[in-house]
Structure 1
Amino acid sequence: TVTARYVLAADCGTTLAGTAGTGSCGASNSVNVVIFPSAPAAPIVNSGFGPIIVTPPSTVSGFTIQYSFDDGATWGANTPPTNDNCTGYKIKTRYVTAAACGSIPSGTSSTIAACKESPATTRIVDQTAPINITVSANPSSLWPPNHKMKDIKVTMSAQDNCSATGAPICRVVSITSNEPINNDGSADGNTEVDWEIPTNPEGAEVWVKLRAERSGNGDGRVYTINVECTDAAGNTSQSSTTVTVAHNISGPGAGSSVKIGTTINMAGTFWDVAGNKHTAKWLVDGASVNGTVASEPVGTKNGTVKGSYKLATAGVYKLQMNITDQKGVTSYATTNGYDEAIVVAYDPNGGYTYGGKKYKSPKGAFPSQPNVAGDMTYGFQTNYYKGATNPKGETWFILNNGEFEFNALNFDYLVVNGAKAQFKGLGKMVRNGVEQSGIAFILTVIDGQLTGGGGADKIRMKIYNKSNGEVYYDSQAGASDADNPTTVVENNAAGDGVVVVNTNTTTTAARINTAVTATQVDVTPQTTYFDLKASPNPTTSHFTVKLESPNTKDPITMKVMDLSGKVIEIRKNLVAGQTFQLGTHYRPGMYFAELTQGDKRRIVKLVKQPD
């Protein structure tokens, strides 16, 4: 409030020297004056691109703070707008009186200066997630399904409504599969991990790794690569792309065995991107066979392939399915689920095999115990008997005097081809003191003394889980089931570590360089088998042995060996039907009794236990 008055030099009512005066100076009426504060500093707002929060300037008594979010065009309360603004809101503040900026209050008044606006602060609002996300994977189909990790290029891009804030950044956040990593019981190989994401998964192109693997059941594996794109405001959008592992030879079943002369029907599945057209060929042990694309892939549905081939010769045949698109790109599969696609053609009148010695089991033969190695002692004999559907015989493998043991009496097939023989079946395994039955095996041998045998007897034993393909033992790890064995039999000066007898000369030379598959021979037309019956077995005292043979004329020789191959005793000129005692003075342990009569041979395991 301001008032005015006139005064003398001395002051109001003062008498100057030499002059007298009366009265006093009077004051004028008062007036009101409003003095506005200086303009506030530029507003302080929160960082980021989300909802705006303005920090109010310092308060001034008698004044109200106003806010503008459009560079001073309009003023009001501290209520920021919420709509996206990619160029930014220009935010200002000012002090005003209760009436308004520069107005005259009631009564007589005036103003000194007007309310001043602060400098503007620009603030962008962007709450819209990126749009138009594109994601692709190359390749989008993995083949062959060989359980190996393969590089996949993931290309990603996205757009944002606020181009001023820069392009969104995309990254691979996760990978999933429609199948379990370890799909027990469905033959996917039980390998892990099945995918790898790099340490820095951001950018327009990111390389990931996926395992070319699928279950033996179902329609194949589909990997989903999940992508997230983030703009400068932190808004995110998600998308994904898929990679399919569909190629598979679905028929015939892996390791199927048929008689020579059988026509097999082959079938398979594959997947490719929409719009491609395909032709098919089959390779049967390298021989090209025309196939038929029965149906093309549609969406996520697999295409199908068919074909047929007559197996005229005994052997183990590898199958391969080739799919070629209209651009000439060929993809293929060589597996039936986890297993290698192999079909066996056998000749039940073709031959038989037997043997027994030992070999050095290498490190890596036991996948669960890769450092385990040692002497593997073995014995086997198998052949077809008259009227039998499956071959008969016995197989024994013992590592390091009982650390590992495998025995089989049930065989699926026997194939003899030149110097090679292969037979497959089921047996029981004792590992770490635990016995498991129903364990599958494939034994492949070469008789080095025969033409094409190379001069040295060789052997390969593979023992595995028939349900899921898990390998328990393989003396030639990683090789195809149709490959030649490479492990040389030891202490084999007599050449009887492996004996292959091929009675069908027409098939001996036909496939001598191919993988062994079984021919089988009827070596005993009568119902009596060539055998040694020992009881009790095991025993703590002695064995009572009876010899059985349909041949009552030729003498029988029996040789008993311990696990090291040392000959314990030999008995000659024995006859069919003879019974005698054996082993009274044997030390506790495991022994093999080998019978020979003419071209027949039989090996039986004997166990002497402590008293």
Structure 2
Amino acid sequence: MFAAITGEDPGGIWTHDGNVYTYTVTATAPCTGTDQSTVTITEQPQPDAGMDGTLKICAGSTVTTSQLFNSLKGTPTPGGTWLPTLAGAGSYTYTVAATSPCTVDATAQVVVTEQAQPNAGTDGAITVCTGTTPTNEQLFAALTGADASGTWTHDGNVYTYTVIATTPCTESDESKVTVTFDPLPTASAGGNATICANGSKQISGATASNGTILWTGNGAGSIAGETSLTPTYTAAAGDAGKTVTLTMTVTSNNTCGSATATATYTIAVTPLPSVSPLSDVTISYPANATFSTTIAGTTTSSADWKEKIGLAAYTLLGNVAPYSISTLPNNVSTSPTASELTITSPAVSWSGRNYQVNVDGCGITASSSASLTVNAAPLCLTYDGLMFGVTNSSKCYVDNGGKIRIILTVVGSPAGNLSTATVKVSVGNISNATATYVPAANGAPPYFYYDWTVPCPAMANTANSETYDVSWMIGGNYTGAGCSETQALITLSAPSADFTTGGGYIFNNMSKGTLGIARGEITSKNNYGFNLKWGNNLKNLQGNFNTIIRQGGKQYQVKTNKPTYLLTKARPDLNYLGSNGKTVTPYEAVMVYENAVYKNLTTGESQGGGPNSIVYLRVIDMGEPNTAGTSRIDQISILYKLNNVVIYSSEAYTVTNDPSVIKLMDIVKGNIQVHVAGAKGANQRSVDPVITSIAPESFNLKVLPNPSSSYFTVNITANSTEKMQVRVMDIMGRNIETLTNMAPNQSIRLGMQYRLGLYFVELTQGTKKQQVKLIKQ
């Protein structure tokens, strides 16, 4: 303020009133007055740029000074300057220059930020599946750089995206998305076909679009080209008789994603032609043979039946006897149909032929074959010819021109044509001669015969009798297997003194033993033939015995040529009056033969042949037919023992060493002659019988206990001091144990080590033998 006044004295004081400042200088005494001067102060205001502020402008625009000034706070003084140069966002400084005496400029800042322009992005395009509406997400994804705050509108397939401007921006932005719609996949297969189970089918006419193709099926076969419009289906066996459905699936290959279209094609698979397996046919003549099959599948021909004989090729059969064929129509593809080949009564010789059925279809031939076996029909024959004949003194048979008719009569009523049977006869010097068939006539059954020319002489010069085995075999369409009778005996005897002979057959009735018909069974024929005579001076018995025994369809023969005993005697107690008025006296003969061979003619096995194989024969000659007028029936009994065991008896018997107690039975056919000292018939005998005893000398074999479960005590006794032998055999005759040089009249112990079963112990001293059966249990 001193500067504002001029020339003042120092020492004054300042006072003010308001903005008027007074400088007062008090007078120094002596001066009494004061001096004042005033200074009026005027203030220069400070420059005022206001306070900092902010401003938001629309991006892309340049800020203005007014926008900046208006953004300052406070009371800025207009007229300032802005730095930097005005542009967009940034910090701008406002400066108000100081007016003297103010020296400090005032500044303030305005921070300018930008509001982004609305951005709808760049236009885009999308493709979607027909029938769908694009989503906002899909549309937005088609834009580039678009703000997310916009909204969508559309006109047709053009969708507009609008973003509204945010203050201070004032203009909105738009972009467009063009939507293209992809078509859905399509599929068309349309059709069907029929093939054989071994065939294939290529599909044609299928169409597809807008996708990829894949064919599938529900059949057992295979598909080739399954991704094309023309796949090929090849059938398998499992398709036969079924309809296979092939499905074409077209899967979208555009924006329709997993969308599919399907179409089906059906294939009917017909079975291959087939014939059910033929079964081998076995029949017995004269039955018909029928081969049957069932034909199925697709056939293009009727069933052909063929026959193959031996190694020859198959030949086609016609519907001509003896063949009868039920045929199958062509082109069968429906239900199975049966076909049969029937052969009427084929012969046994057809066995081994093969038959085949064939049927065509689907390019193949179905076939099956089987064989035919024709078994012979049973045919049993019984011998009804001569069983006992007499020769002349030269031992030649002269009746019927020296021929004996072998007559074999048919048993029962076998089916078929018996003329197709072949019967071969063997007798004497003839083997397998063909017999002639004679059909039934006038109530007589059919039979076969062969006229046998008997050799002359009919027996050896040293023999007075001969027994001939007659056998026959049946062939052709028939067989004698299982027949109980396939052999018979013919006895031819020359007139001779002191001679016993016979031939014929009996029916077993109440026989006992291992062989023979048991009580109550149907009877069967037992042929026999025998002869026996004394040599010179009533010494040296000569003769033979032959019998055929039938049981259970089997045949057995007991044969021997070693007689050891003969007893003949008159039986006046049996006298009867013949038709000529003369008394007929029957004669009885009792005979014993040793060394008999017992043979199973069915198996060929034989036993016996030793001194303990014995035949006991007892006969009664009731008179010769046509000689003494009406005669009675001759009688006979036969007993066969092997090792003291009864093997066969023709009737009930009592086991004894005396054969005279064997029960007699009537012969059925044949004759028995007992000649004594040149007599020619039972009614003319005049010589007393001669008896030869077969009782053994005194020696004895005794076994205790018997049966035994441990050992046997064998007691051997004899009057002679000659050494003895003890031999044990099994039931088959095999030697088990032999003790030699045994003194008589002692006891020995045997059998502790024997197995369970049947044995025979035999005691021998010189020519004497005795045998006992042992049972180890």
**Structure 2 length as normaliser, TM-score?**
0.31
| Greater RCO (CA < 8 Å, at least 6 residues apart) | 1
